Amino acid sequence: MTARSVQCPYKLASRMLHPDSTVVQVGRLAIGGSTPVVIAGPCSVENRDQILDIAQRVQKLGAHMLRGGAFKPRSSPYSFQGLGETGLQFLAEAGQATGLPVVSEVMDIENLSMICEYVDVLQIGARNMQNYPLLKAVGKTTKPVILKRGLAATIEEWLLSAEYILNEGNPNVVLCERGIRTFETSTRNTLDLNAVPVVKELSHLPIIVDPSHGTGVARYVSAMSLAAVAAGADGLMLEVHTSPETALSDGPQSLTPDEFGLLMSRMETLVSWANTVEEVPVHG
């Protein structure tokens, strides 16, 4: 079967052409392997003490990777925009202190090579999912990329964005479902967990879920995290803050370390239960 003969707009991202699931390696950590990977940390790096403290806490509670934004895509130009390179220095230091690999968002090509010096994984945010020059640029790097789903993107458009990165020679793409815009106003976004089995069927790429942005409400994050793992997600991205009420961004959706710890123990129970359940044949 040649790529041309398949009625599928993406080729490199397609499971039809690449039946084996991709495992993205971040040092010793495998995303897309047998256990879900947990990426935790604040929405924004705010200062050195903040990121070092949160990093140590989430590491002790079982996180596998540390997140922290230094270049923030904010709806208002008057909101905190991130610490820029200084924030990345603090993030990298926190990563080294805890042994956790770090991920941070890249918003423009101009800062890409500088950001690559500090992070293990690049994040493309929802607002940039269709920034094609940026996708091509990260596709030319050797860093794994977490590609968030656009606010109003279909799964096909999302996979085509992944295709842009793969097409430049970077095979290490992890998709991240972070909720989409719908008519619903009870939550910040509607977390589309349908995307997990759909993406698993259509693509060989790993998919993780971000229930923090997906709900926008800290008290809903735990339920949706467990649901995501039960649906087969390869991991979670979770915002954690020691003082959500004073966070410079996304406080209302951030878990405290205690809440994060409770979720981690619930998840452990869920994962060990899931491992005991034999796969049931399905049709349709």
Closest residue to ligand PEP in the complex (CB): 125
> What track of x and - describes contact with ligand PEP for positions 223 through 262 (by CB under 6 A)?
----------------------------------------
Residue 125: is it exposed, middle or buried by C-beta count within 10 angstroms (0-12/13-18/19+)? buried
Our CB check for ligand PEP shows the closer of 3 and 181 to be 181
Among the listed residues 69, 82, 101, 244, the single contact to ligand PEP using CB under 6 A = 69
Q: Measured from the CB of residue 52, what is the shortest distance to ligand PEP in angstroms?
A: 19
Q: Using CB under 6 A, which of 125, 144, 211, 244 touches ligand PEP?
A: 125
43 binds ligand PEP (CB under 6 A): yes
- Location of structure tokens 């996180």: 63
From the list 48-56, 122-130, 196-204, 258-266, the region that binds ligand PEP by CB under 6 A is 122-130
Residues that bind ligand PEP (CB under 6 A): 43, 69, 73, 125-127, 148, 178, 213
Residues that bind Mn ion (CB under 5 A): 43, 250
